[in-house]
Structure 1
Amino acid sequence: MSTPTRKQRIERRPDKFGERRRQLAKSALLTLAERGYANTSLRDIANNSDFTHGVLHYYFADKNELIIFGVLEYKAECVTRYDAATEGATSTEDLTARFAEAMATTLTDDASMHRLWYDMRAQGYFDAGFRPAVGEIESGLEAMIWRVVSRYCELDGAVPAITPPIAYALFDGLFQQALFRLHNGDDTAPQSLAAQVATVMESMLT
């Protein structure tokens, strides 16, 4: 057996730097999600976490890099939750119920994180540095929604009456409206969202 090269040995090492960045980002996002992008600095994040300003600056060049990294990580995980929730659906009714419940649950449980995502997306209109990450996240969310729509049509034996961008716009719009209502004190927002999701699902077939 040949001796591993230096490059191979390095590649086999645990990604300690990347793991540390993920830990820092996860902690920092809690502060960012509560205060908002414009109202939070790296020093604010340090003051509200167990990490010093110097440590944060070592792993992230600035606040923008931190929020981009953190939201990308969070949204990648969020997409897998929807896939897991709808996996194994045996009928259109079952799939609709699972998908609607998943959206209502994440609306309630992760409201602050979703608010931070929409904050970051809005920043992309003014700061070009955010646009590649926003585009990547949106592509992932659109693909996730289309997997649900495609599975729904497969179970029904029909074809979609809409395109992937339209499907994403519909569900994202409903979700964003529900998030605003929830933050405005409307406790019925999750239930209303679930009902709206069911209605939209039924209208997507030709």
Structure 2
Amino acid sequence: MTRNIVKLAALPSVFGLVALSMSIKDTEMPLDNSTDGLELFYTVPQADELDSSTIFDETKNSSLATTGKSFTGFKEALGFKESQNDYKRINQFGYLGKYQFGRSTLLLLGISDTDAFLENPVLQEKAFVANASRNKWVLRKDIKRFSGKKMNGITITESGILAAAHLAGPGSVKNYLRSGGADGFKDAFGTSVHSYLKKFGGYDISFIEANKNAKVDLES
């Protein structure tokens, strides 16, 4: 989900780098995250700031039964925030489906046929899980280090970290966490890493396994 304008926005500012050096000791920084060659700043732009606490089923014109803080609750809340759970939505930037994937990220996950992707809800759900697995691997040390800690008035959780990575890419989330919240990425619509860390905190996403090379199985 790469965009040039977001790549620029995601770069650490001078003040962010200063805050990083002041707030985090060099000896505390992970020495090797083994992310060489991985694209870390793919993003998903947001169309608005819809309230994800209510998930709406347009086919029944009623609210869905609550799924609580389960993994299903997590992905349905995030899907509602991205597209109101519309598998066929394409926004003005060309981002696709329920979870608003960019074409470059789909290619990373092994998906090249975007028309087929839009017509296949099962494939979109598989892509979401594969992308979360990839992000969890990239951010595994940050999840361990920062989960449960307070930053800018919110408690950092694993689900918040992975939701923020879906928005901004894992590289932007690394920058935010390791700068103590000073490096505040926002996408083209003004949606911030901070807002996703808060909105999607506290879900049980132990279902997601960290996988550096996660891809979608197109055969099953």
TM-score norm. by structure 1 comes to 0.29
Flag the structure with larger Rg.
Answer: 1
